[in-house]
Amino acid sequence: MPDWKPDLRRRLAGLQLPPAREAAIVDELAQHLDDHYRDLIAGGAEPAEAERLALADFQAGDVLAKYIAPLRLASEPSHPPPAAPGQSLLAALLQDIRYAARSLRRQPAFAAVTMLTLALGIGANSAIFALVDATLLRPLPFPDAGQLVAISERTPATPEAWVSPVNMTDWSTRSQSFVAIGGTAPNVASMVLANADGSTETIPRQWVSHGVFDALGVTSVAGRTFQRSDDLDRIERVVLAESFWRSRFNADPGIIGTSLRLDGDPYVVAGVVPDEAQILGRTSMWALRNVENLPPAARRQYSLRAIGRLKPGVTLEEARADIDRVAADLAREFPATNTGRGVNLVPLRDTIIGGDLRHTSTLFLGVVGVVLFICCANVASLLLTRTLARRRELALRTALGADRRRLTALVLTESLMLAIGGGAIGLAIAALVLRAAPALIPDGLLPATVTPTLDLRVAAFCAVTALVAGVLFGLVPAWHGASPAPSQLTSTRVTGGGLRTRQWLVAGQIATAVIVLVGAGLLVRTLVAVGRVDRGYRADRVLTMMVDPPGSPSLMAFYNEVERNIRALPGVRDVAWGTTIPLGESYLGDVSAEVAGANMAPADRPTADFQIVSATYFSALDLPIVAGRGFDGRDTADGQRVCMVNEAFAQRHLRERSPIGARLTLRSQSSTTDPGSECEVVGVVTQVKGRPDEAHDLMQVYVPLLQNTIGDVFLFVRGASGDVNALSPAVRAAITRADTTQQTSVRDLQTLDDVMLDATSRHRFRAALVTAFASLALVLAMVGVFGVLLYSVQQSAREIGVRRALGAGTADVLRLVAGAGARVIGAGVVAGLAFAALGARLISTMLFGVEPFDPMTFAGVASLVALTAALAMAAPVWRALRVDPVIALRNE
């Protein structure tokens, strides 16, 4: 066929038509000339003659241009710019989209299954991406968050110690690198707010120094934040968190400048800050702690965590050099306190988002990535079947002149449309998951400022995932679909092409499912091991709460009266006081313990969890004393100072002597110069776990409350029977009766069982999530097995029929079909186990009580996969067995 288009374009050239319009006219006229030419050839003309005659239909001169020129189309503005090849590409794309939409509409079930499969993968990925984005990628929610650093002190004994307020103000005034430095108390405690009507309520509060909000870069929502002058004028002040201000004071701006009565004293409300400031601590308000003009002795009070903001352009290294210089100056000026003390600067983000969270996020991302792969493989498999079934159509298109590129584009367009549909549904799934997430994620796993939300970044991730998935799972069918042999045109039977590809896909799916299942198995085994851990104490039905009376000389009398009141309550078996909750919070942290006569350098001295407990503590928690005695009436305030150690401490540090009678000097761990207090070991007590999954036995030292009376103590109430929570109103009332000042705050009510659950929540969360995804992966992989086997049975129905006709028995057919399936599954399982063995090491930090290469888990996963595979194979095999040789042959 001659190409008429150049001639036609030449005839229209003078008109300067819009390119699209010109192309349309050229198309139409070329079609006319084609038709005419074909008719002439059919009438017996030679090609050259036919071409000449067809063109002879044009009159002499520029008649075409002359007739078109007066028309409106000739005077239309000529845009888009001439020679835009995109136009025809775009047209082709639109055509493909219309076509794909039509063909998907014709098979709604196929489209729905495909999109839902993808939506599951994409939804899960997007939800987990939101978590990863919040934890690993996004900066902290403060301006120039990269300039924020956590500051701690360093001594020969501890690499990271709390900060002295006096040192902190010296760093701030003497260094050149910081915009601001501020400190916070490590804990959030609480204050009792007295209302005008005489009622009281307990409000969480954290002590902070001035400078802390400036360092964070937090600006007030109302009023102002703390300033240095606030510290100097020594007026008590608080700053409220925005959510507290809104909920408790209805966002009343009039509250600024007024006084709240907290713990009996007036505190002026300086301002309100956004909740982002809760990165310091989950609290409702911050009270100003004085750090300016403190007495020299305060240099020993290592009681703050400090944060600083580097000046713009100052790097961490420059700041470190600067602060080291200041620390060296301080050591020269104050040798008694500062000799050997250094300063650590660490990016704040690294301290907020710990390694545990980073590992967990990465693990989840890996797992959902695998699930997405399995989803894509299933969809590719589905599409491939469809494409192969459409081979005749595609062959016809090829015969009619569609080129390979065009066919590939057609098949890919379909994949992409499915992917986009799946992505949209996936985004909805992600939104649902994220809405439910706060209830599912254990408390404390995420820092206060980290909230996974569905934002533009997650939506963008979802879109990109959908597109990449669309291209990935579309490539295989596009490859197969775009190369149909011409013979396909006449064949009525779809040939078995693509079966091998599908078998590979299914083996890959099984392998990945095995990997995730092994991971889930290991994490579940960890959870079981953690749950079985010997906590040390035996008591159940124990209620605990933090009791925080205002400091007074009669503290011990108060504790005694509370204890008496509670013991008088029906259903109470025992009452005790202590500063550490087993498996929970240790209020006082570690001390450095020097064993008399052991001659150890300060850095080598043992450290131990320091607990102040009442004499009843051990009996109340059923904590056996294995040597010596517990605390009792002999250990009075002015008697011989005594202590108890746990088994691990005795075995490790008092091995060469009888532990009873050994003398320990206990010092604040962060101080090199604390003279410490000496005490005599009177007993050894059973090991109690600090964390359920601790790798090394925790060292513990106990001292009696009577000799070390402090505020902020946990109350332990052991019930006789039934639900111990039912005791809490009576216990609170008993405390109130003893509290003459009405300023005692009671908070953090929980049972020891709750504490245990909390302590294992991370393990449970990880195990539950990974198991859920692993189950999904298994189901999807088995759908793949089912699909490929059914397909292969359909493909080989004729072969089976021939074999049956030739006398093959049930066993032979079974061998043929199930054998093929078993080979694919076997290959997948073996590959999966091999990769899992390599990969299990990556999660070894999350495992406890189970080896990464745990034979039981590996064997269990292999049998589970084999079992479910047998189920998935049942229907296709059944179908193969029922192949009627006559019908199978007649089909041909």
Give contact residues for other proteins (rule: CB under 8 A): 11, 24-25, 27-29, 31-36, 39, 57-59, 63-64, 67-68, 71-73, 95, 396-397, 399-402
Q: How far apart are CA 557 and CA 535, in angstroms?
A: 32
CA angle 130, 136, 138 (to 5 degrees): 70
- Tell me the closest approach of the beta carbon of residue 385 to other proteins, in angstroms: 22
Phi, psi of 669 (to 5 degrees): -70, -25
Cβ-based nearer residue to other proteins, 65 or 802: 65
Cβ-based nearer residue to other proteins, 490 or 721: 490
Helical pair 404-440 and 86-106, crossing angle rounded to 10 deg:
60
Nearest Cα to 30, choosing from 5, 50, 47?
A: 5
Contacts 24+ apart (CB under 8 A), 652-660: 652/606, 652/699, 653/593, 653/595, 653/598, 653/606, 653/699, 654/595, 654/681, 659/627, 659/628, 659/684, 660/627, 660/628, 660/684
- Tell me the closest approach of the beta carbon of residue 86 to other proteins, in angstroms: 19
Q: Are 481 and 391 in contact (CB under 8 A)?
A: yes
Cβ-based nearer residue to other proteins, 68 or 642: 68
Cβ-based nearer residue to other proteins, 68 or 511: 68
Instruction: Please report, for the chain, how many H helices and E strands are present, in that order.
Output: 29, 22
Cβ-based nearer residue to other proteins, 25 or 769: 25
- Tell me the closest approach of the beta carbon of residue 62 to other proteins, in angstroms: 9
Cβ-based nearer residue to other proteins, 68 or 458: 68
- Tell me the closest approach of the beta carbon of residue 39 to other proteins, in angstroms: 8
CA angle 303, 581, 450 (to 5 degrees): 65
Cβ-based nearer residue to other proteins, 196 or 400: 400
Written as one letter, the residue type at 172 is S
Q: How far apart are CA 601 and CA 599, in angstroms?
A: 7
Q: At a CB cut-off of 8 Å and minimum separation 6, what does 34 contact? A: 1, 4
- Tell me the closest approach of the beta carbon of residue 393 to other proteins, in angstroms: 8
Nearest Cα to 222, choosing from 188, 250, 182, 184?
A: 250
Nearest Cα to 824, choosing from 872, 777, 856, 860?
A: 872
β partners of residue 590 = 609
Cβ-based nearer residue to other proteins, 69 or 321: 69
- Tell me the closest approach of the beta carbon of residue 59 to other proteins, in angstroms: 5
Helix, strand, or coil (residue 277): helix
- Tell me the closest approach of the beta carbon of residue 55 to other proteins, in angstroms: 9
- Tell me the closest approach of the beta carbon of residue 101 to other proteins, in angstroms: 14
Q: Are 672 and 597 in contact (CB under 8 A)?
A: no
Q: How far apart are CA 814 and CA 816, in angstroms?
A: 5
Q: How far apart are CA 64 and CA 29, in angstroms?
A: 11
**67: Cα within 13 Å, side-chain hemisphere:** 6
- Tell me the closest approach of the beta carbon of residue 10 to other proteins, in angstroms: 13
Nearest Cα to 158, choosing from 772, 669, 721?
A: 669
Cβ-based nearer residue to other proteins, 396 or 494: 396
Cβ-based nearer residue to other proteins, 52 or 841: 52
Token pair for residue 704? 């009696």
- Tell me the closest approach of the beta carbon of residue 40 to other proteins, in angstroms: 12
Q: How far apart are CA 685 and CA 578, in angstroms?
A: 15
Q: Are 456 and 363 in contact (CB under 8 A)?
A: no
Cβ-based nearer residue to other proteins, 64 or 459: 64
Cβ-based nearer residue to other proteins, 83 or 400: 400
- Tell me the closest approach of the beta carbon of residue 33 to other proteins, in angstroms: 7
Cβ-based nearer residue to other proteins, 72 or 105: 72
- Tell me the closest approach of the beta carbon of residue 84 to other proteins, in angstroms: 19
- Tell me the closest approach of the beta carbon of residue 813 to other proteins, in angstroms: 40
Cβ-based nearer residue to other proteins, 26 or 546: 26
- Tell me the closest approach of the beta carbon of residue 120 to other proteins, in angstroms: 35
CA angle 651, 653, 659 (to 5 degrees): 70
- Tell me the closest approach of the beta carbon of residue 416 to other proteins, in angstroms: 21
Nearest Cα to 756, choosing from 584, 578, 529?
A: 584
Indicate the Cα dihedral angle 241, 246, 248, 253, nearest 10°.
Answer: 90
Q: Are 168 and 181 in contact (CB under 8 A)?
A: yes
Q: How far apart are CA 103 and CA 86, in angstroms?
A: 25
Cβ-based nearer residue to other proteins, 59 or 740: 59
